Structure 1
């Protein structure tokens, strides 16, 4: 009984902390797993067993494979041939959504959504496309595509691995297609016709950031200015109301790494961001005047600086703090020019605004910023505002060959997905489709830690008897296999909106297993229900990573996810709960 109370307390604590966003998911689940181990509920081997799980290594290998596809230009090649050159907005949408689902069925959906988000942004003006009518459907299309195969999402792999541990057998690569493909087709039809009706026209961050040029001003320091020889603090330039010093241009070279001790020299150009009305206050300073050549523009090309759009992830350590307190400038060697949240560009000084997950930042940084932080877990999306990234596609054919071989080998049953993924990742490295450094950076270690620690919580649910207790309570009301399947599905869906989808699946699987055992029915339909419900997160921006990724670029508000996602979630639930018993049977 004591172990049951401990496990229940840990789960409730993790849920509450997740909802309040007190700590990152990785930290929360590590604390939860450690608590179960130190309290004696789990042995050391049970608590740490998730780190030796084959599913963890399969997911890590697939991260490398997907990164190889992206780095070699293979994904761009696929996009070019499948999307082509559409001639109208309708044609563009008709091509992008199915291609997004197709790619997401076999590769991680995060880079797919990032790729099509950038593509849609770049083509929006050409085709007069409302980004709010396209970007969220792209995220939803990627989620639906991930339901079609075993490697479509990490959740599918995790549940399959749990099935193999419990019963000695799992699912084949394309077995889930019996449910995933009909869901995807119906979902895409819904998105095509419902989005224009339910989704209002929103201004994305790029439209908002275009207005930022009105807030940038360049001031010239005269040789006899009272500021010459003073540092920024003593000159009174660090706490100006409504203004923020972005950088100093000295002898045609920008200085972005400035602090309160930076000295001002004669003929410096001081670049400020903020309210234009505050410029009059600057002109009251002796020897400081408005530059006749306002060269600092958002569309200006400079040999050393670039403008980037980044979306903050939930795991970014600066979430909940301000740019000033978190020392964003020194951490990333970049300057924030503007911040957008829930479809609105925030007013005030960027350095004093408290950051939230999903915030979209317009930053100025050195041209190497994209290469340094494109794999960073701090950002969901990093894209350059001007020109797209040029990729060397000389290895694209080799990479595609390796990838197709992996799919054929695992799909035909010649090799398990674990072995084929590891061999494909190794082949990517040997053939130099991706460097060892980029391969290491491409692995999302935060996700792997959450999954490994969630295995410990799942073990706790099982060994403490909590799974039997919950299934017993469930069976008091759901007395038939179909009703039990419905209860498992919606319980998993509710849980996945509160915590990560992988953790929800791992915690609910023991309950599903116990329920199937009590009813003396096939476990497979319950396992598939857990897979679908854990991934089918459409109602909130935080339920799935790609939903949060498109929030800023599309200018979405929380209510937009409910308006478009709730009917889709209902459609997916009805179709899934109808097809699952028909395909696998009780």
Structure 2
């Protein structure tokens, strides 16, 4: 079968898209959508085929899981996971080991998409608290989830589909639940060891975009109080995670009027302690989200608005501010603006004087805790030069934590036992998050990362063009034909083909596309089909080299602040390592 003109054009468009992804800084969603648009204009695919990705269940599942993940973050589940399960590693290598082993274990029996959806915000929070580079952790998270799914039959939907096709073809019972562990476990060991050993050179060293934006932020002095029922009571500063907060340090503790300066890491926290912190505005948000800490400013608790409708707002005082020349405690700010001043900065630097004793000057920046309508009401006030809400500054709903965790657990179990599909379970979980007020409707809308969604949808459209024009089939048949007389050669070719196609189409589509060729090769050689089938299963999950190869790669693409080429640097050698492991182990377990 020869390549048609349409197949040539499709391959040219995809190659051009990949070139732009690797060598340019254009966003991935724009490049891939443009590729699909070009194929549509060339009449290679129809409008319906171009848009088929927008109705794809996998794409919709990822979109809904963003809502679930935001609900977990806003109720404190994410913080609990990062503190309780991941611990406090001493360095990046230890952090990667602590992360990859449990994630791989979870992914052996759970769908890796919800595992990554839950862990992405937890890892971001964990990295921030432990001063770790998030770009050194997000890709290992995705890789661990992917390779963990190769250990069992239920670890990946690809395994189940190929096993079903194998059973239908041979009439046997197919593979059992843990048969794949013979090759899956060695692959987990190889991926984990390689990542830890070489990530310092092959992974980028970039912080989160938010950390970059807030690197030169204004600094404030903030006073926090340990609540009477706080889980921090009885813990040391080190154990409570308050010693090395990024962008924030503990200046002193006020304990019943006695000041403790140069606070030691082993200093025990008591109920009612007032902790004085100095740091930037983003770190103030992190402080407010720690369970058991509250702003010590008494005016905050006199605000009429409920705690869950409050947010942090920065305002800059203008020359027209009517209370200039008065101290903050004399100006009745709370009564005038329904807002409490919790910190003041002057010329970008923190003011060490007690808030009540500060006399405001034009240009002073106030950090306020106020109701969510304040910005709209005061945006054009002549009293303030600037009014700006701090992003993600609404309080964490710690009282909803157990409920949100239960919803997530029910979602995972319902999928694991086959009661609901991943999409239905995610849809139900997101709905329950909104109905139980674990997340507000507006926050649910804003939680979806549309760049990721467009990349998935466009990738599906490009993959469909490969299949429709026959380009994928021609390439596969040609490569198989080159090694048709060697079972091991066919095994290697099957792995390379499946892994290559998984980089440009979905891993499930790649496996389904290659499996009939594996059947034909086994018949021509008159050998056992099982080792070929297992190789296709593993290769379909070796989606390390591109972010579009697997949806968990796309889920960490933004939070890890990655570029397309970052995946190729570490992903290509990882794919080769997994390929070598597979080709060596499979013939030893399943003979030809």
TM-score (norm 2): 0.55
Which of the numbers 452, 477, 480 marks the counterpart of 2:482? 477
CA distance in structure 2 between the partners assigned to 1:565 and 1:58 by the alignment: 25
Shift of 1:78: 2.4
Give 1:187's aligned residue.
191
CA distance in structure 1 between the partners assigned to 2:26 and 2:206 by the alignment: 31
- Say whether residues 1:466 and 2:471 are aligned partners: yes
Cα distance change on mapping 1:481 and 1:109 into 2, 3 Å? farther
Which of the numbers 574, 577, 584 marks the counterpart of 1:571? 577
Give 1:283's aligned residue.
none
Which of the numbers 434, 440, 452 marks the counterpart of 1:435? 440
Question: How many corresponding residue pairs?
Answer: 423
Deviations 1:277-309 (A, max 9, x none): xxxxxxxxxxxxxxxx98524899963399xxx
CA distance in structure 1 between the partners assigned to 2:143 and 2:80 by the alignment: 22
Give 2:21's aligned residue.
18
Give 2:81's aligned residue.
78
Shift of 1:19: 2.9
Shift of 1:537: 5.8
Give 1:4's aligned residue.
7
Cα distance change on mapping 1:177 and 1:477 into 2, 3 Å? same
Which of the numbers 383, 390, 403 marks the counterpart of 1:368? 390
CA distance in structure 2 between the partners assigned to 1:579 and 1:59 by the alignment: 33
Q: 2:397, 2:438 within 8 Å by CA — same for their partners in 1?
A: no
Shift of 1:76: 1.9
Q: How does 1:180-579 map to 2 (within 5 A)?
A: 181-191=185-195, 254=316, 295-297=347-349, 303-304=366-367, 366-370=388-392, 391-479=396-484, 480=486, 482-491=488-497, 501=503, 503=505, 505=507, 508-509=510-511, 511-513=513-515, 515-519=517-521, 521=529, 524-525=533-534, 527-535=536-544, 546=556, 550=560, 562=569, 568-578=574-584
Shift of 1:474: 0.7
Cα distance change on mapping 1:513 and 1:18 into 2, 3 Å? farther
Deviations 1:384-429 (A, max 9, x none): xxxxx85222222122222222222221222333332322222222
Q: Which entry has the higher C-alpha Rg, 1 or 2?
A: 2
Cα distance change on mapping 1:579 and 1:429 into 2, 3 Å? farther
Give 5+ residue unaligned stretches, structure 1. Answer: 125-130, 217-251, 257-262, 264-292, 307-332, 334-363, 372-388
Cα distance change on mapping 1:195 and 1:22 into 2, 3 Å? closer
Cα distance change on mapping 1:435 and 1:149 into 2, 3 Å? farther
1:415 is paired with a residue of what secondary structure?
Answer: coil
CA distance in structure 2 between the partners assigned to 1:400 and 1:531 by the alignment: 32
Q: 2:162, 2:515 within 8 Å by CA — same for their partners in 1?
A: no
Give 1:230's aligned residue.
none
The farther-off stretch of 36-45 and 176-185 is 176-185
2:114 is paired with a residue of what secondary structure?
Answer: coil
Q: 1:492, 1:534 within 8 Å by CA — same for their partners in 2?
A: no
CA distance in structure 1 between the partners assigned to 2:117 and 2:212 by the alignment: 24
Shift of 1:178: 6.9
Cα distance change on mapping 1:365 and 1:529 into 2, 3 Å? farther
Deviations 1:6-40 (A, max 9, x none): 32232233223323437433333333333434444
Shift of 1:144: 1.4
CA distance in structure 2 between the partners assigned to 1:95 and 1:394 by the alignment: 28
Give 1:48's aligned residue.
51
Measured on the aligned residues, the alpha-carbon RMSD in Å equals: 5.5
CA distance in structure 2 between the partners assigned to 1:211 and 1:429 by the alignment: 30
Give 1:358's aligned residue.
none
CA distance in structure 1 between the partners assigned to 2:461 and 2:214 by the alignment: 49
- Say whether residues 1:122 and 2:129 are aligned partners: yes
1:414 is paired with a residue of what secondary structure?
Answer: coil
- Say whether residues 1:143 and 2:143 are aligned partners: yes
Q: How does 1:82-97 map to 2 (within 5 A)?
A: 82-84=85-87, 95-97=98-100
Give 1:241's aligned residue.
none
CA distance in structure 2 between the partners assigned to 1:503 and 1:38 by the alignment: 21
Give 5+ residue unaligned stretches, structure 2. Answer: 220-313, 320-344, 356-364, 370-378, 380-385, 524-528, 548-552
Cα distance change on mapping 1:412 and 1:438 into 2, 3 Å? same
Deviations 1:124-182 (A, max 9, x none): 4xxxxxx46x96256324421233249x9xx9669988999999999999998776554
Give 1:243's aligned residue.
none
Q: 1:490, 1:533 within 8 Å by CA — same for their partners in 2?
A: no
CA distance in structure 2 between the partners assigned to 1:415 and 1:83 by the alignment: 29
Q: 1:60, 1:443 within 8 Å by CA — same for their partners in 2?
A: yes
1:534 is paired with a residue of what secondary structure?
Answer: coil
Q: 1:461, 1:510 within 8 Å by CA — same for their partners in 2?
A: no
CA distance in structure 1 between the partners assigned to 2:52 and 2:205 by the alignment: 47
Shift of 1:113: 4.6
1:28 is paired with a residue of what secondary structure?
Answer: helix
Q: 1:71, 1:434 within 8 Å by CA — same for their partners in 2?
A: yes
Q: 1:135, 1:550 within 8 Å by CA — same for their partners in 2?
A: yes
